[in-house]
A and B are shown apart, each in its own frame.
Chain A
């Protein structure tokens, strides 16, 4: 399993910045210089009292040494590396890279995100002839007209006499068809121009929505209380977003509003001190369903909860329809996550609550409680199958707890180092040697 906490790198960085010698810091923290050296190179895990001592010796908050937004950054960097054929030795230094060159690492991660967005756009455009009936029809119309013009024109151009009557007819046909062709090509050009301006952003709609939630936060005061106008909120948040992104946002906010009516803030404020971030307890006390309670928890102000919670919602095909990642529990931006997540297992047994303590293989030491349930997406219809969607609430757990009973999961296979994983769907790029043998 790769070592990946950057605590050591941060200590080193802070120490160098403060102009303190390694031996000096070691003395202040009452450890040997060689042990500090191991820590600084992320070769020894550090926590508890020693971390507090080093932090105070450096004059910084302990959390500033242990926490950071690197998880998503590291995951993105690994994704970027996966396409580039970077050697395993280089790859194992990704954290050192992110730690030493945060600016460059951020730039690289941004580029990776843009590339992914562009790849999606390219796929959409490549498929366009198949999936865009207007475009296919226009092209067919143009090709038919061109065919008629070409045939008629070559009849006229051929050597040899053609009766004047036929000449006139073909001339007239060419004239008519060329007018038709002009009209079709003009409307096609207009159509293409319009659809181009529709999507000035090249990123995927889901990305746009993610960006909007990052900017505005997941708690939206405008959707709480009375006199709420969802359309207006969508307009305020996403006036510059693409129509598909606005559609996605509208759907998410309409649901938010419904949940807020079922579980108003005042009610939550009353219940939460007893239940904490437990969606089952909240659902029971507020007399609502578990999925609603999960969504509500994810959209409450952070201050109302012991710690911010994350959520992933997926439809029956496993595609994520809503995501709120946590710093230490990233969610894949495209496609599905790790098949071991209770999110997906829940789909096999609807209405049964799955609960695991999980540790993502890319984030050792960060433990979360993942609670999942698959619920019907709609009211039952006699004689018809019900469609289900799955919810997974992600609640951070204190790191001090033991590793017993923790389920090792991944983020996505390519950047997961778990060997002998039965759920693996593609090889890892992290040098899991036994996986490479087929």
Chain B
């Protein structure tokens, strides 16, 4: 069975591009666009890797990550954070919240693929 990525992102065209790249590489990609119930979705899907955007409607990516990390079942789930602002401050917040990897938009497809592979291998 192929490994599963849950992409939590609200930009339709970014969702389409990432889904395409990862699917082509053999991943099963599930997507979700709302922050408010994103944590429930992670619990339900049990993905191998979560790609999490910071700016989401309903709830910020940082808060979602913190909730996941506080949950014993998902404390070590690999999470890749995406943010549109590459300031050191954002990276620090993301790292403190417990993300495994951090990418700033715009990213290259190759980097995205590489990072997701690395995270899944952990």
Contact B13 A176 (CB under 8 A): yes
Give, as a whole number of angstroms, the nearest-CB distance from A156 to chain B: 10
Given A139-B84, A144-B11, A154 contacting B108 (CB threshold 8 A): yes
A407 located at the interface, meaning its Cβ lies under 8 Å from any Cβ of chain B in the complex: no
Bitwise, B7-33 to A at CB < 8 A (1) or not (0) is 000010110111011000000000000
Contact A144 B17 (CB under 8 A): no
Q: Would you list which residues of chain B between 51 and 81 have a CB under 8 Å from chain A? A: 55
In the bound complex, residues from chain A placing their C-beta under 8 Å from that of B108 are 150, 154
How far is it, in angstroms, between the C-alpha of A8 and the C-alpha of B30 when the chains are bound?
A: 86
Point out which of A139, A150, A166, A170 has the most chain B C-beta atoms below 10 A from its C-beta.
Answer: A150
A356 located at the interface, meaning its Cβ lies under 8 Å from any Cβ of chain B in the complex: no
A232 located at the interface, meaning its Cβ lies under 8 Å from any Cβ of chain B in the complex: no
Give, as a whole number of angstroms, the nearest-CB distance from A145 to chain B: 8
In the bound complex, residues from chain B placing their C-beta under 8 Å from that of A288 are none
Given A140-B55, A148-B11, A173 contacting B16 (CB threshold 8 A): yes
A146 located at the interface, meaning its Cβ lies under 8 Å from any Cβ of chain B in the complex: yes
In the bound complex, residues from chain A placing their C-beta under 8 Å from that of B18 are 151
B118 located at the interface, meaning its Cβ lies under 8 Å from any Cβ of chain A in the complex: no
A406 located at the interface, meaning its Cβ lies under 8 Å from any Cβ of chain B in the complex: no
Give the interface size class of chain A: 20 to 34
Contact A173 B85 (CB under 8 A): no
Contact B109 A144 (CB under 8 A): no
In the bound complex, residues from chain A placing their C-beta under 8 Å from that of B105 are 143-144, 146-147
Given A143-B84, A143-B106, A146-B106, A155 contacting B21 (CB threshold 8 A): yes
CB closest residue in chain A, given B108: A154
Q: Would you list which residues of chain A between 57 and 105 have a CB under 8 Å from chain B? A: none
Contact B109 A147 (CB under 8 A): no
Bitwise, A131-157 to B at CB < 8 A (1) or not (0) is 000000001100110111111101100
Contact B16 A169 (CB under 8 A): yes
Q: Would you list which residues of chain A between 152 and 186 have a CB under 8 Å from chain B? A: 152, 154-155, 158, 166, 169-170, 173, 176-177
Give, as a whole number of angstroms, the nearest-CB distance from A374 to chain B: 37
In the bound complex, residues from chain A placing their C-beta under 8 Å from that of B14 are 144, 147-148, 151
Given A152-B13, A154-B109, A169-B16, A147 contacting B21 (CB threshold 8 A): no
Q: Would you list which residues of chain B between 91 and 115 have a CB under 8 Å from chain A? A: 105-109, 112
How far is it, in angstroms, between the C-alpha of A147 and the C-alpha of B11 when the chains are bound?
A: 10
Contact B85 A140 (CB under 8 A): yes
Give, as a whole number of angstroms, the nearest-CB distance from A56 to chain B: 69
Binding site for B on A (CB under 8 A): 139-140, 143-144, 146-152, 154-155, 158, 166, 169-170, 173, 176-177
Top-4 shortest CB links A-B: A151-B17, A148-B13, A143-B84, A147-B105
Offer 14 A-B interface pairs, CB within 8 angstroms, sorted by A: A139-B85, A143-B105, A144-B84, A146-B105, A147-B106, A148-B14, A149-B106, A150-B106, A150-B107, A151-B18, A154-B109, A155-B109, A166-B20, A177-B13
